[in-house]
Structure 1
Amino acid sequence: MDDKNLPECLTVAGRPMHLRLTGLVPVLTRRILGSFVDTIPIYRQLPEEELSGDITRVVESSLHLVARVLRERRGPLPEELSALVASAARRAEEGIPLEAVITAYHLGVQQAWDALVEPAERDDLADVLSANRLLLLFLGTAVEAICASYLAERQSMLSQEQYARDRVTSVLLRGESVVGPAADAGIRLAARYLVLSLALGTHPDEHQKGPGGPIASRRKLRRIRGALEEFAGSSAGEGLEEGTVLSVLDAGGGIVLVPLAEGGGTPWEWATTTRLTDALSRAAGVAVTAAAELAAPEKVKDAAGLTRQVLEVVRAFERPPGLYRLPDVTLEYQLTRPGAGRDALAALLSPLDGHPELLHTLETHLAHRLDRRGTATALHVHPNTVDYRVRRIAHLTGLHPSDPLDTQRLAAAVAARRLGG
């Protein structure tokens, strides 16, 4: 802006404020850098080269910009903030917390303000108040710009990190060599993994219409991931290894790979996995059903396939939420394997195909462990109606739910029909 078009200068003790501030830049820069080191712990850990180089230049640039703001009595223009914006991106790349960056700007403005108004007299009050508004305008505009730059850089970095994690997870689940992708992603492979197949219940908030439902789903997943990371870190030394937890999850569940320590011949304590399952359920606020297995990296594919099948069996037999392994459902698992045996089991219920109320009654009766009153309550019918339908089921299928052997065959037949589609 041409000098003749500039507004009247703001003054302090008879001297234009922008000239006073410009003259103080060398002294103020040293003072501000000192306040960074004294007040912000992470700045004490920065290399001297960075403090005396990049950060010093940004402080000097900011002070000169504040002087221009005072001289022209206006807020900073976007193009004038380019040095600050670029610096914020570099701090994000270096991993310096955003709150530390923002604190640094507040400290710098505070130091500049104190030095600027130190010689102020009573007659300077109006100009001092105007200068105060301008510095607040500078600070607000600058913080907004640096936050946007910092967060954009972090988002870009997180996207790259997540892509690298997803690639390693995908390679592990395909059973391919993972050494190269893990090295590229900076992920140290564990000697073995706890492979978890998860089924997540639906949070009540997910039923909301509009954007509320999807937001609730994302919040649930974020809590699940946070609980996984926290548990892996806090349980190091109990068999878990502090490292990268890999996952492929959506609102309904998915696969999680938790890094484990070497083992050294010590059996894995499955109670630890039970605690993890409980922790995930508490964090998400929903029921969590998990199937688990241990596997070396090259065996993750097979373990993931097995845990998915175990989880299918658990859900088909309507087992309660919690942790399951193959030994917990060995009989059910074997009965429901694809083939002639499963088809024959499913065919036992073919006589009920034209009677959906009977099939539903059978499923509900089995789920309630043959409790006629519990079944009646669930179906909203009289217990005598349950008795009548049970007799009809026995008549049509030749299998009576009150007979222990027939009960096993009926339960297996129900699961076979479900797993067979």
Structure 2
Amino acid sequence: MAGSLTIEGTPAPEWVRAHRRTLSTHALQALSDHGAEASRPAAPRRDPELRWIVEHNVDLFMLLLDRGPGGELTDEEAADLIASAARRASDGEPVEHLLIDYQIGADAMWQVIAPRCRAGERDGLLRITEAVHRYLRQVTGFVVRGFQHEAARMRLGERDARYGLFSALLSGQSPQAAAELAGIALPPGYLVLSLHLGPDPTPPAAPPPGRSPRVSAHRRSNTVQRVLDQYGTDVLALVRDPVATALIPVAPDAGTAEARLVVDRLTEALGVPVHAGAAFGPPDTVHLVHQQGNDVLEIALAAGHGPGAYTLDDVLVAYQLTRPGPGTDRLRERLRPLDGHPDWEQTLRTFLRNGFDRQRTAADLHVHPNTVDYRLTRIAVLVGFDPTEPAQRLTAFAALYLRDLDRYRRRSGRALVTSSWATPA
């Protein structure tokens, strides 16, 4: 199509590219006129965000023209349209407003293009008209999907009966009545995932002007929900980027392979590192295994473990050594003297990581082995245990596990867990 279809003697995609601003401005004016006539509320009409999404539609239409008859847009190319539609759903706009806006925008583009076609280009105008309708048909499907997913998420988070079941399971209440109200048969067990979605490793240098950060957040949330939907309609999930909780029905003999598969799919779909704390249990224990999964995830993140799904077995020692109690309070105090000596703490960590080998520790730190010996001696005096003594090394490991966990909680704004939690009220 690109080689034979012309507007004013210019290949159609090139003409659209050259007149992108004109097409966008005309569409914006048409939307504004219709909004005034229909007494539409002004709140959703945010400029420059509205201009951004209109220009993005022009770009996608140009892409469709370039692909010729039968050309299709992919889910990835339409991801920002889907996310923008989700944002409008979260603003409380009716879906009919969204559909009318796309029809008005497409018509406005055609109204600019049609008069520019010369006498010899009238046959091509029919093909352009077909392309406009094909584009409108495709994007309508995309934006309705985004709108519906967000509307469903809002219902889940605010008033839907499914949220009642989700809440009952996580709070330890009897889930049977909530399940009946939601029309869901309770499964033998759930895979409970506590998820942390990492940042985009290669973010764009600068977002397009007017693109709301909420669009990116909705885009990620939609992707998570789309992956989880592959596991059936009874999956319960709540996404609050960068964290999420998912309850996936599983058979009684489900194992960690299922958890790792879910995380692998999320990682591939999102293109970001995903960490998960995974646990399994029947419906009446979901609240307990959910807390366990949260703890496992927290330890994996605090210890700097790579992306993936982690179960209690993967962090068993660190988990047990960091449980609240008088012992953890004392361990905190043991390493407190190192607060003013970050190079000594780094020496201790490197010494433990290198299997208590002074030579390798010195090489990693680029210092003389005598310097390592001096620092380890001073550490022993300050903290009250000698990390070079085999019987005292476990104390060092435990204290550092706890120190990492405390630092992670401070960074993430969570309260430190002290021994006062040992006997909850």
For 2:332, the equivalent position in structure 1 comes to 346
- Aligned runs of 1:89-168 on 2, under 5 Å? 132-133=123-124, 135-136=126-127, 138-143=129-134, 150-166=141-157, 168=162
Instruction: State the shift of 1:299 in Å.
Output: 2.8
Look up the match of 1:310. Answer: 296
1:1-40 correspondence runs (5 A): none
Query: Are positions 1:414 and 2:410 aligned together?
Result: no
Unaligned ranges ≥5, structure 2: 1-94, 100-117, 407-415, 417-425
Q: CA deviation at 1:221?
A: 6.0
- Name the counterpart of 1:191: 188
Paired residue for 2:249, among 253, 259, 270?
259
Q: Which amino acid aligns with 2:188?
A: A
Please show how residues 32-51 of structure 1 align to structure 2 within 5 Å.
none
Q: Whole-Å Cα distance in 1 between the matches of residues 239 and 363 of structure 2?
A: 36
Residue 211 in structure 1 maps to residue 197 in structure 2: no
Shift of 1:390: 2.0
Q: Is the 8 A contact 1:221 1:284 kept in 2?
A: no
**Structure 1 residue 353: deviation in Å?**
3.0
Q: Is the 8 A contact 2:303 2:404 kept in 1?
A: no
Alpha carbons of structure 1 residues 412 and 313: separation in structure 2 relative to 1, 3 Å? same
Q: Is the 8 A contact 1:182 1:188 kept in 2?
A: yes
1:331-389 CA deviation, whole Å, 9 max, x = no partner? Answer: 43333222322101111113323323222332344344445566556655555543432
Distance 1:323 1:377, change over 3 A: farther
Task: Specify whether residues 335 and 140 from structure 1 end up closer, same or farther in structure 2 by C-alpha distance, changes over 3 A only.
Answer: closer
* Alignment size in residue pairs: 287
Gaps of 5+ in 1: 1-87, 93-126, 233-241
Deviation at 1:311, TM superposition (A): 2.4
Q: Which amino acid aligns with 1:173?
A: L
Q: Is residue 318–residue 367 contact of structure 1 (8 Å, CA) maintained in 2?
A: no
Secondary structure of the 1:357 match is helix
Report the alpha carbon displacement of residue 280 of structure 1 after superposing the two structures with TM: 4.3
The sequence identity of aligned pairs, in percent, is 35
- 2: CA distance, partners of 1:360 / 1:289: 25
RMSD: 4.4
8 A contact 1:317–1:411 mirrored in 2: no
Contact 2:190 2:281 in 1 (8 A): yes
Secondary structure, counterpart of 1:360 in structure 2:
helix
> Greater CA radius of gyration, 1 or 2?
1
Aligned to 1:388: 374
Scaled by the length of structure 1, the TM-score of the pair is 0.54
AA matched with 1:361:
T
Q: Which amino acid aligns with 2:201?
A: P
1:359 corresponding residue in structure 2: 345
One-letter identity of the residue aligned with 2:195: L
Counterparts of 1:297 and 1:275, CA distance in 2: 22
Contact 2:337 2:382 in 1 (8 A): yes
Opposite residue 211 of structure 1, the aligned amino acid is P
Q: Deviations over 1:58-79 (max 9, x none)?
A: xxxxxxxxxxxxxxxxxxxxxx
What is aligned with 2:387?
401
